[in-house]
Amino acid sequence: MSKYVWDFNEGNASQKDLLGGKGANLAEMTNIGLPVPPGFTITTDACRAYLETGKQPAELDGEIDEHLAALEKAMGRTLGQADDPLLVSVRSGAKFSMPGMMETVLNIGLNDESVEGLTAISGSDRFAWDSYRRLISMFGTTVLGVERDRFDEALEKLKEDKGAESDLDLDVDDFKALVSTYKGIVKDHTGSDFPQTPRDQLDQAVLAVFSSWNTDRAKIYRRQEGIPDDLGTAVNIVAMVFGNLGDDSGTGVCFTRDPASGHQGVYGDYLPNAQGEDVVAGIRNTMPLSALGDRDKKSYDELLGIMSTLERHYKDMCDIEFTVERGKLWMLQTRVGKRTAAAAFRIAIQLVDEGLIDLDEALRRVTGQQLAQLMFPQFDAKAERDKIAKGMGASPGAAVGKAVFDSTAAVEWAARGEDVILVRRETNPDDLRGMIAAQGILTSRGGKTSHAAVVARGMGRTCVVGADELRVDARERMFRTSGGVEVKEGDLIAIDGSTGEVFVGDVAVTQSVVVDALLAQAATGSADEASRKVEGEDRELVNAVTRLMEHADKTRRMGVRANADTPDDAQRAREFGAAGIGLCRTEHMFLGDRRKIVEQVIVANTDDEREAALEKLLAPQREDFLGIFEAMDGLPVVVRLLDPPLHEFLPDLTELSVRVALAEARGETDDEAASLLKQVQRHHETNPMLGMRGVRLGLVIPGLFLLQVRAIAEAAAELLKRGLHPEPEIMVPLVADVKELAIIRRQAVETIAAVAEETGVELEFPIGTMIEVPRAAMTAGDIAAEAEFFSFGTNDMTQTTWGFSRDDVEAEFFPRYIEDGIFSVSPFETLDVDGVGRIVAIAAREGKQARDDLVIGICGEHGGDPASVHFFDSIDLDYVSCSPFRVPVARLEAARATLDRQDSAANRSGSDGTA
C-alpha cells in the first residue's frame, strides 16, 4: 500500500521524486539538526493520483489526520483552536524548482475566533489581524479563484485613504476593516462565506496546490525549462512561524554566493516585520541581508553559520528562506540556487579550487545554453549612453528594446518582431508569458530574490530590479524618473543586468569577453594564456570558462565540426575549436553572377552547349574550394554536392509567362523568352523540395556533379603541391537507394583518378552520403557498401518523417501544438528522439554493422542543440556539426554527454551488483 504522507524526520534529500525538492530538503535540514519548524509532506504520488482521477486517494485523509495529530502533539496545541491556535502553511514543492509558478497559503487555521486567541498569545492585535487578512487574500486567490487584483486594489485604496506609504503604516483597525472588505470580496465572488473550519481550510488548500500543477503559468514554465508534465507536486504542511510579530521579527532570502555573479560573500534580502511572501513578491523594497546583523546579531551570526553548513553539505551554492520570530531563527527552505550563466561557471571553478568537487562534477554543473548566453554581445563601454536610473543587477546581459508595461503587450509586440523590455512595478507569476517574450525585465520594486530576479536568472533573461527612481504607471503605460524623464510605451530603452543601469535610447554592443577568450584559447591552446589577456573581474569568469572548456575537450568522446560555406566561415569555425567542416554547402556558390550559367546548363539543348556552360563554372568553383581547404588545412572538409531544388536556378514561371504574353500582345516575338518558357514549363514541379534535387540532379543533368568533383580534386592537388594538407570528403545528397550512390561514386572516382593523372599528384578522397530521407535510413546497411561515411541531415529527415514542410508549418500551427502539449519544443530545434531519433539510431547501427570503419556524423541544425547532442552521443555517432558560433556549445555538451553515459553505466553497475 502506498504511503502518501511523510514526516520531515522520515525523508532525506535523495527523495525529490517522491517528496519534491522542498520537502526533501526540509527533511534533510531536519536530519542534520537545523532549526526547521515541524511538519510533514504529502507526496507527488498523491498529487498524480488526484490529477489522474479528480479525487484524492482514499487513504490520504487518514494519513493527514495521523500526521496532523503528531504535529499538534509536538506543538502542544491544535489546528485553529480558539485560545492558542496552531497555524500552518501549505506550500507546493515539485522535484524541480518552479519559483512562483505554483501555490502557497500561509496562516491556515485562522478564523473569527482563533484570531482573538492569536492576539492573546502574541500580545499584538495588529499582528493577528494582519495575519488574518493575509490568509483571506491568499486563500481567496489560490483556492477560490478570486482575481488577485481585487485584494490588491482594496489594500491600495485603504493605504491611499490613510495616506500610508506601505502596509507598515496601517494599524489594527485598518486590518480589521480590510478583513471585512476581503470577506465581502470572497462572498461576492463565490456566493459563500470565507470558510471558518480550520480542517476545511487545510483540505481545500491541499487540493488547490495539487491543481496548481496544471495552471497555464506552470505549464508555460515547464515548457520553457524542459520539465516533464507528469511529475506532479508535493505539498508541505509546516507549523507557522511569524516574521511579522514586530521589529524583533522578520523574514528573508539569502544565497551562500551571489547568484548573479558567483562572487563569494553575504548576499540576500531581509524585511523586518514581514512574512516570507513579501520578500519574493517584491511588495516592499528589501534591506540587504547585512541589515539583520545590525538589528539582531545573534540571529545573523547563527544564519551565517547555517549558510556555511548547508553549502558544505550540498557542495553547491544554496538558496535559503528563513524567518526570525522574536529573536529565534527558523529555516523554512533550502535548495541548490538558480544562478546566472556567469555565476554557474564561476561557482563551479570556485568549488573545484576549494576541494569540494572535481572538474568532472564542475562540467556537470554548467550547460551549453549557459555558455551560449555568455557569448552574447555586451554593452560597449565606449558607447554614448544616457543613464536615467539605477537599480540592482539581478540577471546579467545587455538588453535593448521598446518599453512595454504588461505581459500581453510584451507577447503581442514580440510576435510582430519587436524587441521589448517588460517594465513593471513588480512581477508576479501571471507575467510569465511576457517575461519569456521580452529581451529584458525592469522593475521599480523588489530585490535580488524577488520573483522577477529569480525567474529571469532561471531563463537567462537580462533583468534589473528595485530601480526605485522610476514611478511606473501601468495604466498610463509609462514611467517617470525622479529626474523628470518620461518614457512611454514604445520608447526605446536599454538595461544592463550586471550594473543595474537603465538607459534611454539605443546603446551599442560589443563582442563578449568570453568569445574573445575562447578564440584566444583556440589560438594558443592554453586556458592560462587566454585568462592573462583579460583584466578586472572578467578575468575570474574567463578563467572559469577556459578551464572548463579545456577539461571538456579532454573528456568528450565525440568530435565537433562546423557547418561553413566560405573561407571566412571556415576560419571562424577553426578559431572556435572546430575539428573540421562537417557540412560545406555548395548551393550559394552558384548564385549571383553564376546563376545564369547554371541556367544554361539546365536548359542546354545539346551536349556541346552543356559542356561549354560547365567549363565556365570550373575555375570559379575551384577557387571556392581553394579558399576553404586552405583555411581548414589539415582538417576534414565534407563538401556536399549541389542539393537545392531545380527551380532555384530557373526564371520565375509567372514572370516569364507575362513577358511572353506582353510580347505577343504587342504583335512581337520574343524567341528567347518563348524558348526559355518551354524549358521552365517542362521542368516545373508542384513540390520542388521532393522533386529534382540532390542526387537526382547529378544523375539527370550530365556533368554537373562531376564538375564539382573535378573542382575539388584540382583544388586539393594545387594545395598539395604547395605543401599543404587538404582533406576533402565528398558527400552525395538526398540518396534514397544504394544504386543512386553507386553510379555517382563510380563517376567521382574516375574523375578524381583523371585529375590525379593530369596533375601528377596522388589523390584519394572519402565518398559518402547524406542520410536525410527515411528510405535511406531503412536501407543504411546496403548504402554503407558504397559509402565511407554517413552524415545525417536531420532537418530534412524531420520534414520527411513528420510530413512537414518546415517553411509552412512553424508559423501555421506549431504554437498550437506546443500549447496543447503535442510538442514540448519544436522538432526542428531539438531532435524528436522517439521518431526521427529512432530512425537515426537504426540507420547508424545497421550502417556500422555493414561497415565497421564507417564514420557517422550529423550536420543538421540539431548538431548544436544541447539535448540533441546528448542523444547523438548515446547512439555512438562520431561527430556533430553545427554553425561556427555554436561549436563551443557543442564541445561542452559533448563532454557532458560523455559524463552522463559514465554516470548511467555506474548506476547500472551498482544496481545489478557488479560494482
> Which residues are known catalytic residues?
451, 859
Q: Distance (Å, rounded) from C-alpha 814 to C-alpha 806? A: 10
Q: How many CB atoms lie within 10 A of CB 742?
A: 15
| Chain centroid to CA 276 | 28
Helices (H), 772-886: 774-778, 780-783, 794-802, 806-812, 814-819, 838-850, 866-874
Residues in Cβ contact with 38 at an 8 Å cutoff, skipping those fewer than 6 apart: 8, 71, 74, 75, 238, 239
Task: With residue 8 as reference, give the H or E element that holds it.
Answer: none
**Cβ atoms of 93 and 21 closer than 8 Å:** yes
**Cβ atoms of 695 and 735 closer than 8 Å:** yes
- Nearest partner of 521 among 502, 544, 487, judged by Cα: 544
Q: What is the DSSP track for 518-531? A: HHHHHHHS-HHHHH
3 state DSSP class of 201:
helix
**Cβ atoms of 376 and 389 closer than 8 Å:** no
Cell numbers at 904, concatenated: 548511467
Q: Distance (Å, rounded) from C-alpha 192 to C-alpha 186? A: 7
- Nearest partner of 498 among 530, 456, 527, judged by Cα: 456
Strands (E), 240-375: 250-257, 264-272, 287-288, 318-325, 328-336
Strands (E), 273-369: 287-288, 318-325, 328-336
Task: With residue 176 as reference, give the H or E element that holds it.
Answer: helix 172-190
Cell numbers at 251, concatenated: 523574514
The neighbouring-strand residues paired with 443 are 424
**Cβ atoms of 639 and 715 closer than 8 Å:** no
Residues in Cβ contact with 543 at an 8 Å cutoff, skipping those fewer than 6 apart: 349, 527, 531
Cα angle: 160, vertex 165, 169; to 5 degrees: 95
3 state DSSP class of 76:
coil
The neighbouring-strand residues paired with 496 are 398
- Nearest partner of 770 among 780, 760, 759, judged by Cα: 780
| Chain centroid to CA 434 | 15
Looking at this protein, which amino acid is placed at residue 806? R
Cell numbers at 732, concatenated: 552525395
The neighbouring-strand residues paired with 584 are 639
Query: Residues for the chain: how many in total?
Result: 915
Residue 682's alpha-carbon distances to 646, 672, 676, in angstroms, are: 12, 16, 10
3 state DSSP class of 84:
coil
- Alpha-carbon radius of gyration of the chain: 33
**Cβ atoms of 298 and 118 closer than 8 Å:** no
**Cβ atoms of 341 and 544 closer than 8 Å:** no
Q: Distance (Å, rounded) from C-alpha 185 to C-alpha 147? A: 10
- Nearest partner of 387 among 495, 471, 465, 478, judged by Cα: 495
Q: How many CB atoms lie within 10 A of CB 883?
A: 19
The neighbouring-strand residues paired with 288 are 269
**Cβ atoms of 791 and 881 closer than 8 Å:** yes
